[in-house]
A and B are shown apart, each in its own frame.
Chain A
Amino acid sequence: MMKLLEVRDLTVEAGGRIIVADTNLEMEEGEVLYLLGPNGTGKTSLIRSIIGYPGYNVVKGRILLMGEDVTEKPMEYRVAKGLGLAHQIPPRLSGLKVKTLLEAICSRRKCDPDEVASATQIQHLLERDFGRSFSGGELKRVELATLLAMKPKISFIDEPDSGVDVDSVKLIADGIRRLMEVSSSILVITHTAMITKYIKPTRVCLMINKRVDYCGGPELLEEVFEHGFKGMAGGNQV
């Protein structure tokens, strides 16, 4: 069966530094993959590299999306092909209302902005400037709303549980569940792992020291909770 995503031996440079090293990662249909790792280990850099963010330069390795080598393709192409990213901290877009953004996405992806807003419980933010005076949880839910509108084949969700309170994590988890209905697979980055209480993984990978070091089943979560990231370092390569 064709893999949705294959990252082969990827090394990435940004700003003159290696930020992802010798990394392999695969995703198949129907996966809920957790990418765990301590702060600053390169998780966000990895998914930004996969989606093709400018400034993330592939030094070595390949990125295949549904069998197609997209390593040299721009972000526009990769997003059109089915990648989507919920950012950890999106920029504030002055003057651009949340509703305007959702309408613009929905006009091409055939969706109803009000339904999307309702599914992520952000109706009260629709008339606000994007990112203006949002709480941490509201920012995360607006990000999920954009993905729900985009309906990407693979959704990357970057730290949905950082900087939010317990009640917010529940709401965010509701949004992720809705996203699982429209995306073939999702990859969730977390370093606190709070979200794992609500959304169970099908697979878990650890990223330590710039490389994806170790992947396993859901039971790997328990090992991480028991030993911590430091205790898990140096495991088997994927």
Chain B
Amino acid sequence: MASRGWLEEIKSRAREGLFKPAPYGEDIDLTEYNEALGRGEFDPARAEEVGFKTGGNAYYLQVDQNYFKYATRLSGVEIMTVREFVENKPDEARDYYWRLIDPGKDKYTATAALLERGGYYIRVRKNTRVEEPILACLFLSTSGIQAPHNIVVVEEGGEAVVMTGCTIAPESAGVHIGISEFYVEDRAKLTFIMVHSWSRVSHVRPRTSAVVGEEGYYLNYYANLSRVKTLQTYPEVSLGTRARAGLYSVVLGLGDASIDYGGAVYLKGEASSAEIVSKALARDRARVVTRGRLHGVGRETRGHLECRGLMLSRESYMLAIPELSSETLDASLTHEASIGRLAEEEINYLVSKGFTRDESISLLVKGFVSVDEKLFPPRVKSVIDSVEKLIVGKAM
């Protein structure tokens, strides 16, 4: 049996970060929470809201920290829990497990590494192209910490869509720490859709990192469509030669939410390119910070970054922080940022076309949250469409 020393190194590293706050977002005292060990009570209706339906050909369902169900009937697609992956294929796991994210980065990564329970491992074999989305649901039925660790590997020339919905039973005081490490190999494509719907007393700290090989493509869509107490995340993507990335997000802040959402793409490979479009809405007394960073390293890299904020109440607060940096003369990086309310001119225009004021606002909010559907595979469009409708409904 192979040495397990590398696993001990991960835990040792995690222990070093156990009390380290994250650089962004509100600091949460995790000692107030126990591990969420519930009775596996699953709510299909809530899961459906975040795009998860049982009965698909490839899926992973996790409830709390202790109930797992998964299956795959898709040729070339392997699914198991990350724990099984590490236990059954340690030599392979060693190349992927905590390789993109430092377990000692902050208290959240450290907690996930030390709990070491839950999360999916999905591998899409070389040149396997799967149109049907692989569905995943991470459900919290009780109060406490849920810290799944997800690993997705799309081998060379493969293509897959992974849709993950994360949600919680109403009024549960949960902490969700999702660790995600994505490996998109040469000429592979991963479309990753994540939809969150939390409760007004939940804290959310996803930690995501992706590495994309030569001519690979990583397409990410993230939506937060309901109340949350605090949310902070900063996914990072590293691109190889001629690799591409698109990060699109719609974050809705309601009630007293404190949200710090951002992302960075490191354009390392020559002629790599990326687009980050971050849209945030703040209602009630929500405080929303949107960040974005493009960093050029390789020659002839290109990138565009948008941070757009829509304020829907006088008590809300927004901050947009777009960042561009480069180590090369040949990078072409641009950004746009805006914060503001809906323009009266636009509302009045639509009223002049026969809509009521509320209908006009609804149309404009829908326009604000919409993403370019042409970017996404056909099977994903209906999910994004229903997510947009839900966000508009909740933003009004």
Interface residues, chain A, CB within 8 Å of chain B?
Answer: 51, 53-54, 75-76, 79-80, 84-85, 87, 90-91, 93-96, 100-101, 104-105, 108-109, 129-130, 146, 150
Question: Closest CB-CB distance, A76 to chain B, in whole Å?
Answer: 6
Per DSSP, chain B at the interface is: helix
B298-352, CB < 8 A from A: 343-346, 348-352
Known: A91-B345, A91-B346. A76 touches B351 (CB 8 A): yes
Question: Closest CB-CB distance, B395 to chain A, in whole Å?
Answer: 13
A-B contacts, 13 listed (Cβ < 8 Å)? A53-B348, A53-B352, A54-B348, A79-B352, A80-B354, A84-B352, A87-B349, A91-B345, A91-B349, A93-B346, A95-B369, A96-B364, A101-B363
Cβ-neighbour of A76 out of B343, B349, B356, B366 (below 8 A) = B356
Q: Residues of A contacting B44 with CB < 8 Å? A: none
Instruction: Report which residue of A84, A90, A94, A108 has the largest number of chain B beta carbons within 10 angstroms of its beta carbon.
Output: A94
Interface residue range, chain B: 20 to 34
For the complex with contacts A54-B348, A93-B350, 19 further pairs of A-B residues with Cβ separation under 8 Å are: A51-B352, A53-B352, A54-B344, A75-B348, A75-B351, A75-B352, A79-B351, A79-B352, A85-B352, A93-B346, A93-B349, A94-B367, A100-B367, A101-B353, A105-B353, A109-B354, A129-B367, A130-B367, A150-B353
Asked if B357 lies at the interface with its beta carbon under 8 angstroms from chain A, I say yes
Q: Residues of B contacting A108 with CB < 8 Å? A: 354
Question: Closest CB-CB distance, A48 to chain B, in whole Å?
Answer: 9
Name B344's closest neighbour in chain A (CB-CB).
A54
Docked pose: A39 CA to B242 CA in angstroms: 53
Interface residues, chain B, CB within 8 Å of chain A?
Answer: 343-346, 348-357, 359, 363-364, 366-370
Name A127's closest neighbour in chain B (CB-CB).
B374
- Judge whether A104 and B355 touch: CB under 8 Å: yes
Q: Residues of B contacting A101 with CB < 8 Å? A: 353, 363
Docked pose: A130 CA to B353 CA in angstroms: 13
Docked pose: A95 CA to B352 CA in angstroms: 19
Name B388's closest neighbour in chain A (CB-CB).
A95
- Judge whether B367 and A96 touch: CB under 8 Å: yes
Known: A54-B344, A75-B348, A87-B349. A95 touches B354 (CB 8 A): no
Q: Residues of B contacting A80 with CB < 8 Å? A: 354
Docked pose: A94 CA to B346 CA in angstroms: 10
Question: Closest CB-CB distance, A140 to chain B, in whole Å?
Answer: 15
Known: A54-B348, A79-B351. A104 touches B363 (CB 8 A): yes
- Judge whether B367 and A93 touch: CB under 8 Å: yes
Question: Closest CB-CB distance, A105 to chain B, in whole Å?
Answer: 6
Docked pose: A124 CA to B369 CA in angstroms: 23
Question: Closest CB-CB distance, B82 to chain A, in whole Å?
Answer: 37
Known: A76-B356, A150-B353. A95 touches B370 (CB 8 A): yes
Q: Residues of A contacting B351 with CB < 8 Å? A: 75-76, 79
Docked pose: A109 CA to B354 CA in angstroms: 10
Q: Residues of A contacting B354 with CB < 8 Å? A: 79-80, 84, 105, 108-109, 150
Docked pose: A140 CA to B368 CA in angstroms: 24
Name A143's closest neighbour in chain B (CB-CB).
B353
Question: Closest CB-CB distance, A134 to chain B, in whole Å?
Answer: 15
Q: Residues of A contacting B369 with CB < 8 Å? A: 95
Q: Residues of B contacting A146 with CB < 8 Å? A: 353
